[in-house]
Amino acid sequence: MSRSVVILGSQWGDEGKGKIVDLLAHEADAVVRFQGGHNAGHTLVVGGEKTVLHVIPSGVLTKRARNLIGNGVVVAPRALIDEVRGLEEKGIEVRSRLGISPACPAILGCHEALDRVRERSRGKKAIGTTGRGIGPAYEDKASRLGLRLADLADADRLEQKLGGVIDYYNFLLTRYYEADPVDGARIADEAAEMGAELRPMFADVTGELHEMRRAGKALLFEGAQGSLLDIDHGTYPFVTSSNTTVGGVMTGTGVGPGDIDYVLGITKAYTTRVGSGPFPTELHDADGRMMAERGVEFGATTGRPRRCGWLDAVALKRMVRINGVTGLCITKLDVLDAFERVRICVEYDGVEGFPVGAEEWERATPIYEDMPGWDGSTQGLTDQNKLPAEARAYLERLEELIEAPVHMLSTGPERDAHVILQHPFSG
Q: Which of 2, 35, 235, 241 binds ligand IMP (CB under 6 A)?
A: 241
The answer to whether residues 38 and 80 touch, using CB atoms and an 8 Å cutoff, is: yes
Beta carbon nearer to ligand IMP, 148 or 307: 307
Can you tell me whether residue 165 is helix, strand or coil?
A: helix
By CB under 6 A, tell whether 128 contacts ligand IMP: yes
Task: Give the list of residues 6+ apart from residue 146 with CB closer than 8 angstroms, or none.
Answer: 105, 106, 137, 139, 140, 165
By CB under 6 A, tell whether 132 contacts ligand IMP: yes
In angstroms, the CA 420 to CA 403 distance is: 19
| Active-site residue (options: 22, 38, 42, 230) | 42
Nearest distance from residue 33's CB to ligand IMP, in Å?
12
Task: Give the list of residues 6+ apart from residue 56 with CB closer than 8 angstroms, or none.
Answer: 33, 67, 69, 80, 83, 84, 87, 94, 98
Active site residue 154: no
Active site residue 42: yes
The answer to whether residues 265 and 357 touch, using CB atoms and an 8 Å cutoff, is: no
By CB under 6 A, tell whether 248 contacts ligand IMP: no
By CB under 6 A, tell whether 18 contacts ligand IMP: no
Task: Give the list of residues 6+ apart from residue 153 with CB closer than 8 angstroms, or none.
Answer: 102, 195, 196, 198, 199, 202
Binding mask 287-326 for ligand IMP (x = CB under 6 A): --------------x-------------------------
By CB under 6 A, tell whether 225 contacts ligand IMP: yes
In angstroms, the CA 315 to CA 10 distance is: 9
Site size toward ligand IMP, by CB under 6 A: 22
Nearest distance from residue 19's CB to ligand IMP, in Å?
14
Beta carbon nearer to ligand IMP, 133 or 195: 133
Q: Which of residues 20-49 bind ligand IMP (CB under 6 A)?
A: 39-41
By CB under 6 A, tell whether 281 contacts ligand IMP: no
Task: Give the list of residues 6+ apart from residue 255 with CB closer than 8 angstroms, or none.
Answer: 4, 206, 209, 210, 213, 249
By CB under 6 A, tell whether 245 contacts ligand IMP: no
- Looking at 235-382, which runs of residues are DSSP E strands? 262-268, 271-273, 307-309, 311-312, 327-331, 341-349, 365-372
By CB under 6 A, tell whether 127 contacts ligand IMP: yes
Question: Which are the catalytic amino acids?
Answer: 14, 42
For ligand IMP, the binding residues (CB under 6 A) are 12-14, 39-41, 127-130, 132, 134-135, 224-225, 229, 238, 240-241, 274-275, 301
